[in-house]
Amino acid sequence: MAKTNYYQPDPKTDLVLERIVDVPRELVWKAWTTPEHILKWFTPAPWKTIDCEIDLRPGGIFRTTMLSPEGQEFPNSGCFLDIIENEKLVFTDIFEPGFKPTANGGFFTAILTLEKHGNGTKYHVLARHKDEESRKKHEEMGFHEGWNAALDQLVELMKAVH
């Protein structure tokens, strides 16, 4: 029986970002798992992340609050599904902490994988959506531009602090 590849992107419902960055994966991991770091890079400027809570375990909370340039706050909450230190971080807004389904049904699940690449990291994000409409909405919100800009900020931050 053939083994199913659950991480194979579906172009109808998934968005993908993949880049090589010149920061070791341990530092990329630290940037993703330390609230103080998240506050400095997670939201593409001129937006800001003004609050973050992380309980780094399956079912643990991953919560951020983004602030628009106009001063409007956008809270986001979800939980971690899978964690392999320095290799994989899977989180979703479809569940609240403890795997409780969210009242609004959620939006997407992100699968972040980090692979050593020379002295840097192969950074891969698979953003999975429940349907084509959700994927399209996320893409139109600026998924590629926003996640690339945030990654640039992550790299800049981690080079500066280490």
Quote the pLDDT of residue 104.
83
10 Å Cβ neighbour count for 8? 8
Question: What pTM, to 2 d.p., does this model score?
Answer: 0.92
Average pLDDT of the chain?
A: 94
Q: Which of 12-26, 93-107, 117-131 has the lowest mean pLDDT?
A: 93-107
Mean pLDDT of 17-38: 98
CATH fold group of domain 14-161: Alpha-D-Glucose-1,6-Bisphosphate; Chain A, domain 4 (3.30.530)
Quote the pLDDT of residue 38.
98
- Residues in contact with 118: Cβ distance below 8 Å, sequence separation at least 6, in sequence order: none
Q: 15 pairs with which residues across the strands?
A: 127
**In angstroms, rounded to a whole number, what is the distance separating the alpha carbons of residues 148 and 142?**
10
Domain ranges across the chain: 14-161
Quote the pLDDT of residue 105.
81
144 sits in which H/E element = helix 143-161
Task: Classify residue 138 by its DSSP letter.
Answer: H
| Model confidence at 7: pLDDT above 80 | no
pLDDT in tens, 30-85: 999 999 999 999 999 999 999 999 999 999 999 999 999 999 999 999 999 999 99
